[in-house]
Amino acid sequence: MSYDRHALMTDPARPSAELWRLGLGLIVALAVMFGLARGIVAMLRTLLDPDRYLEIVAQLDRADTPLGLLGLLVLMGAMGAGTVVAAEMIHKRSAASLIGPPGLALRQFARVALALLLLNGAVALLPPWPLSQATEPGLDPRLWLALLPLTLLGLAIQTGSEELLFRGYLQSQLAARVAHPAVWIGLPSAAFALGHYAPGTYGDNALTIAAWSFGFGVAAADLTARAGTLGPAVALHMVNNFIAMALVSLQGDMSGLALYRFAFGPEDAAAVAALLPADLAMIGLSWLAARVALRR
């Protein structure tokens, strides 16, 4: 499978592929994203009493409760909204042109998601990694199941919004301007990695986490170019985040929806570093599984 199908996303970008438009579009997207997210939080301030407002803001900041993490995932929709506004205002592109043919995108999403769920299920049956035993219960299973539809919706909003910006908009606009994949795969992946660089959270592992994010971005970009839609990249992103946020998460921040939690948090540099090689290997296996699913 080649990158021929990428034209489904790059052709709509060609009439407005000037780099100055892309730069302006990114500014518009970020302005709308931050403005909308802050506007929603400000609206909460007018609707709630001060103590309840401060409590919810703290939960959103930590995302270590179901309400906090669900709220944070939904707020990520502001990124998707900003991307759509930028595409329509600066490039005269529709939201659909950032996704690819909707029917094809949905079919590819379903095929790749199923392949990745089967892959992760098979890996879970293998002899466990040494740290896989270092878990403890998270949410009560009944509450976890009750929240599952909202969890999936929140993850769809969060992952869909990120893919819309990095792969749907930034990648397609760059590819319409520059032919070499090193540019339209590398630059969005680097931006994606920069967005995940968090030394305040991950300490000594911050650069390693960012490098992992770059590798993930490369895999998602490659699948997008091969498929001609965002479907496979969203499936890859959503399954990955479902496992990391809803099945087994680190302690502390972003753990509010997890069924199980590791006995350590992101501040435990050695324990987190021990997980990263297996996580990186899973990205490679997931990319291969997605490619096989797309060939069927």
Number of folded domains that form the chain: 1
At 265 the pLDDT is: 86
**172-201 CB burial, b ≥16 within 10 A, e <16:** bbbbbbeeebeebbbbbbeebbeebeeeeb
At 87 the pLDDT is: 98
At 271 the pLDDT is: 84
**In this predicted model, what pLDDT tens digit does every residue of 261-286 receive, in sequence order?**
998 888 888 888 888 888 899 999 99
At 2 the pLDDT is: 86
Mean pLDDT per block of 10 residues along the chain (296 residues) reads 91 96 98 96 93 94 95 97 98 96 97 96 75 78 98 98 98 96 97 92 86 96 97 98 95 92 87 86 96 90
Domain that holds residue 85: 4-295
Q: Are strands 260-262 and 248-249 parallel, antiparallel or unpaired?
A: parallel
CA–CA gap between residue 159 and residue 77 (Å, rounded): 9
> What is the average pLDDT value for the chain, to the nearest integer?
93
Report whether 76 contacts 166 (CB < 8 A). Answer: no
At 132 the pLDDT is: 54
CA–CA gap between residue 171 and residue 189 (Å, rounded): 9
At 124 the pLDDT is: 83
SS (H, E, C) 254-272: CCCCCCEEECCCCCCHHHH
What angle, rounded to 10 degrees, do the helices at 77-91 and 19-47 form?
140
At 232 the pLDDT is: 98
Q: Which of 30, 31, 29, 53 is nearest to 42 (CA)?
A: 53
